[in-house]
Amino acid sequence: MPSPQCHAADAPRRLVSKPLAAIALLLAITMVVLSAIGARADQPNITMILATGGTIAGTQTAAGEPGYVAGKDSVASLIEAVPELKKIADVEGRQVSDIGSQNMDAKIWLELLRATSEELARPDVDAVVIAHGTDTMEETAYFLNLTLKSDKPVVLVGAMRPANALSADGPMNLYNATVVAALAEARGRGVLVVMNDEIHYAAEVTKTNTTNPDTMKSPNRGRAGVCDIGACVFFSPTTKRHTTNSAFSIGDEVSTLPYVAIVYGHAGMTAAPIKGALDDGAKGIVVAGVGDGNMSDVALDALTTAAKTGVVVVRSTRVGSGVVRRDIEVDDDTRGFVAAEELNPQRARILLQLALMKTNDPKTIQEMFHVY
């Protein structure tokens, strides 16, 4: 006869063994179901692929011809074109827009921000990949970098060749982007861009070539990491504030962003584009200045007058790399200007738009250009 102690000891073991058997059975069923759909049990939850259009979803008008229409293919066909994606994560797709990114604007940014936030808030979604045209990819990446409130990876991806072109780059870019999005090390780095085997931070990246797949570069601080057919590594963290430690947030009530114009510097620059921007109601003007954010005397004077009326003037550069610092050749203190520091004109414009939702004080805005 077993002792009462033995009975007492056996009973809980039996109580435990039933749920264990049930869990084992459930796991076995899950493995069978996952292998049937091609996913692995140890891989991340859903990676949501949001499509906005661009060349990655573009179709050549005639096979072998360079002409094409951006944004023709649906998110479903982007995913279908890369069956390897389901070995990385359970992917789902959502179409946000189907534009060439030259038509990206504040309205679609706000829709995209809301769609991305919605997906990131889902407990079963681990990351978001956004397929986007490369023309304004850096701007969308930076806008989301400053306004999303999540540590989960968000990766923008595009292509330089349409989906049906010879040696299309979209599928490998989408594959690498999905791998990066699934990496634990991608969390908390802000919004990333993955193109042509390189990973870039949203605060750094810019398009540098009109047609070459090797177009996305981070001229000031260099790339964030590299990929080689899905083997992706990061080199260094970003030092800029973003996402969860960004002071900018967009409430449900926001339906547009303040109007900020960019005026382009050149030899013989007149005040005409500045006057045009002011006539259009610009609350801020970013100058894509020559060299170190310079411009002609006539442009300087027109902008100084504008700054006195409360329009915020930011000096950036058309050069493509380098830092525009205060008070070098232009006396920013006297004129009431802001120096863009490391931000190119298109990124400076986005930061200024968000800043203007809080203040038009140039000193406060200059501080923002130090940290974002």
Q: What residue ranges bind ligand GLU (CB under 6 A)? A: 53-55, 70, 100-102, 133-135, 158, 160
Whose Cβ is closer to ligand GLU: residue 70's or residue 343's? 70
Nearest distance, CB of residue 135 and ligand GLU, angstroms: 3
Nearest distance, CB of residue 56 and ligand GLU, angstroms: 6
Nearest distance, CB of residue 71 and ligand GLU, angstroms: 7
Among residues 47, 52, 55, 147, which one is catalytic?
55
Burial class (CB in 10 A: 0-12, 13-18, 19+), 259: middle
Pairing of strands 206-207, 198-201: unpaired
Nearest distance, CB of residue 161 and ligand GLU, angstroms: 8
Whose Cβ is closer to ligand GLU: residue 78's or residue 303's? 78
Measured CA distances, 139 to 90, 133, 247, 330, 348 (Å): 28, 11, 18, 27, 10
Q: Can you list the positions of beta strands (E) in the chain? A: 46-53, 59-60, 68-69, 90-99, 125-131, 154-157, 191-195, 198-201, 206-207, 216-217, 225-228, 231-234, 260-264, 284-289, 312-317, 338-339
Nearest distance, CB of residue 328 and ligand GLU, angstroms: 34
Whose Cβ is closer to ligand GLU: residue 169's or residue 342's? 169
Nearest distance, CB of residue 52 and ligand GLU, angstroms: 8
Whose Cβ is closer to ligand GLU: residue 54's or residue 289's? 54
Whose Cβ is closer to ligand GLU: residue 71's or residue 265's? 71
Q: What residue is closest to ligand GLU based on CB?
A: 133
Range 348-353 contact pairs with CB under 8 angstroms and sequence separation of 24 or more: 348/286, 348/314, 348/316, 349/139, 349/260, 349/262, 349/284, 349/286, 350/139, 350/142, 350/143, 350/146, 351/142, 351/146, 352/260, 352/284, 352/286, 352/312, 352/314, 353/106, 353/257, 353/258, 353/260, 353/284
Nearest distance, CB of residue 146 and ligand GLU, angstroms: 21
Residue 217 to residue 222: CA distance in whole angstroms:
7
Task: Give the number of C-alpha atoms closer than 13 A to the C-alpha of residue 214, restricted to the C-beta side.
Answer: 1
Whose Cβ is closer to ligand GLU: residue 152's or residue 200's? 200
List, as one string, the DSSP characters of 197-208: TEEEETTT-EE-
Q: Residue 55 catalytic?
A: yes
Whose Cβ is closer to ligand GLU: residue 217's or residue 283's? 217
Residue 296 to residue 276: CA distance in whole angstroms:
17
- Taking a C-beta distance cutoff of 8 angstroms, is the pair 324, 340 a contact? yes
Catalytic residues, by residue number, are: 55
